Amino acid sequence: MYWTLELAYNLEDAPWPATRDELIDYAVRSGAPLEVIENLQEMEDEGEIYESIEDIWPDYPRKDDFLFNEDEY
């Protein structure tokens, strides 16, 4: 299982919080790439509820990770 920004972006609008099966269903319905669906299927399903993409991919960059001054734009 591997995640990239492009793959994780497909789950940004997912209905959080969600279970693994709900995320797979969302990915299929939204037309996400096959790699996203495969990554979700590889996750262990213990009935866990995921609150956000950070629960799936802890290294997902947040807005704070970028040195970008929004006031300039």
| Domain contains 33 | yes
* Residue 38 structural domain: 16-61
Q: What is the rounded distance in angstroms from the CA atom of residue 20 to the CA atom of residue 42?
A: 10
Domain count, the chain: 1
Query: pLDDT tens across 48-72, in order?
Result: 999 999 999 888 776 555 555 666 6
Is position 37 within any domain? yes
Give the pLDDT score at 69. Answer: 60
In a domain, 53, yes or no: yes
pLDDT band at 36 (very low <50, low <70, confident <90, very high): very high
**Looking at the domain assignment, is residue 5 inside a domain?**
no
Residue 39 within a domain: yes
| pTM exceeds 0.85 | no
